[in-house]
Structure formats: C-alpha cells, structure tokens
Amino acid sequence: MDWKNFEVQEDISLASFTTWKVGGVAQWYAEPDAEELPGLLRLAREHDVPVFFLGRGSNVLIADKGLPGLVVHTWKALSGIRRIGDDMVEAEAGVPLPRLSRFVADLGCAGFEFLIGIPGTVGGGVVINAGLRAPLRREVLDILVEVDLVEVDGTLITLSASEIGLRYRHSNLFDRGSFVLRARFVLEDFASGSDVIRRRTAHHLLERKQKQPLSRQTAGSTFKQVRAGPATGWYLEKAGLKGRRVGGAVVSEKHANWIETDSSATANDVKELMKVMVNEVRSKFGVVINREVRFLPEDTTFQA
C-alpha cells in the first residue's frame, strides 16, 4: 500500500497504547494532525483499508491477532485546546479529559470536575458519552455544544450535541463511523467560585481512590450499569466473582466490575473472564449485563 506523503508506520504494537496493556499489532499506524486527517481517511477508503480510531485506549480491548488496517491514534497530534469567546471551550480529539477539566477549572468555571478521573480523550469521551452516574449523574452530554466530524469519505461536518444521539455510554457516531476531530463545550458556571471547584475535584479523586483499583492496569467499568436495581458491581460481587482469574486477567478485589491485568495477560484472557462474569450473573440472578468496553476489531467504528 502506497500511503503517498502521509507518515504511516507498519506493524506497530498497540498494547502499550491501552490501559489494559494487551492486544496485538496495527498493520498500519498513523498520528495525523487535523489537516492531514481527511486526506488520510479518503486514501484509506479509496484502497478499501479498514480504519480504527484509538484515543487513550482506556475503554477498548484490542484482539491479540491485532488490527488488519490503519489505526489512527489521536492523543499526540490532536492536542489543541482553547477558549472561544466568553462561553465556550474547544478541544481536539486527543486532549485528555482530565486536562480539559483542569483547563476549565483554571478559567474559574465549574461543571467539568467530573472529568478529572476519567483517563480517556475528548474523542473517546464524546463517542461514548463518558461520565458518572453516582453520586450525581453528569455526562459529556451535559456540557457538549457541538462536534466537528470527519466522515468516512473524508468530508468535514459540524453537528450539534442533540444530533449525535448521546445517551448512557453511547452515541450514534459509532454507527455513522464518524471521526471526532474536535468538540466545543459550554462554559456556564462562573459563579460557584474556585473553592467549590477545588473541593469537588478533590472529592472526585478521593472517591475514586477509595473505591477503584487505580494503581492497576484496568479499563474502568467493564460492564454497563443495569437499567434498574442494584449496580452491576453488586451483582458481580454477590456472584462471588472478586478474585476470579483467567490467565493474567483477574476480577478486581477492590471493585467487582473492574478487571485487572498483569504482564502475562492476553486479550483473550480478558475476553474469557468477561464471558465467565456474564454467565455467572445470568445464572445466579437472571440478569443480563452488557459490556461497556469496545472490542476492536469487532466493534469497528469505521470500515472502508
């Protein structure tokens, strides 16, 4: 494949680009900036090359056999962030959500504190509508104004937040195969003051430290919350799954909805452990739990 003047590398290991640190190689790999991206996607499409998007890799399980196509990785080249006028902030796809949180806090604006402990990027956060359910429900959809997208044919469009179908850990961008290039968020609350922002930020971090295995290799919550009733973690814990292991993957002792990996783990270990978790909860409680984590290549967002 002739990638013309685009900088594209071959056979790049992806494990270190994910928080579980498992998975195979990318057949091709690029870190395009905003100007290069539309042309690169167009070229991939012309040559029927499947394209996979990767942010911080904190919500994906990449198959051990790797990804047969082009991986577009956002977190280095797409890192711009700026204030626009009085009431908006714009961030490119690769900006880490904690950086967005701190940037807005430094402007003296409240409302972005919930992002401080979510290690993903703006792109990954928007497509998945990242957020918190407890103690207070707050998600990307509460702050998002609009997104600049690159469509599968390389065209650039802007859609409002209401047009991308954000709901609990979902947007319609997965079905469209659109790439989130940048997003604009509303700055509303300048009245709460920096003390409140500092306190809320510290509170979020402390809560996470107490309840979540933050020093381990994880991808956050593995499964979505069930619609009604107890939290998914409750079912998993009551099913006796804490400490259950498949190879190098183990259900966290600290939080039963989190899977930890060690240096021997494979993506297949994680997948098999997830199957055990689903089956045990179904057989013990008759409850179906659905994964929050995206599988690549199976859940590919953009096939040529």
Ligand X SMILES: Cc1cc2nc3c(=O)[nH]c(=O)nc-3n(C[C@H](O)[C@H](O)[C@H](O)COP(=O)(O)OP(=O)(O)OC[C@H]3O[C@@H](n4cnc5c(N)ncnc54)[C@H](O)[C@@H]3O)c2cc1C
Residues involved in catalysis: 169, 221, 292
How crowded is residue 131: how many other Cβ atoms within 10 Å of its Cβ? 21
How far apart (Å, rounded) are the C-alpha atoms in residues 294 and 223? 10
Amino acid at 273: L
Q: Which is nearer to ligand X, 195 or 298 (CB)?
A: 298
Residues engaged in binding ligand X (CB under 6 A): 19, 53-60, 74, 93, 118-121, 123-125, 127-128, 130-132, 173, 179-180, 214, 218-220, 294, 299, 301
Helix (H, G, I), strand (E, B) or coil at 113: helix
Closest CB to ligand X among 128 and 187?
128
Q: Nearest distance from residue 90's CB to ligand X, in Å?
A: 14
* CB 96, min distance to ligand X, A: 8
Q: Where are the alpha helices (DSSP H) in 107-231?
A: 122-128, 173-176, 194-211
Contact yes or no for 31/6 (Cβ under 8 A)? no
CB nearer ligand X, residue 127 or residue 141: 127
d(CA 152, CA 129): 21
- Which of 38, 22, 40, 20 minimizes the C-alpha distance to 30? 40
Report in angstroms how near the CB of residue 159 gets to ligand X at its nearest.
13
Nearer to ligand X by Cβ, of 208 and 244: the residue is 208
CB-based contact 20:217 (threshold 8 Å): yes
Q: How far is the CB of 73 from ligand X (least distance, A)?
A: 8
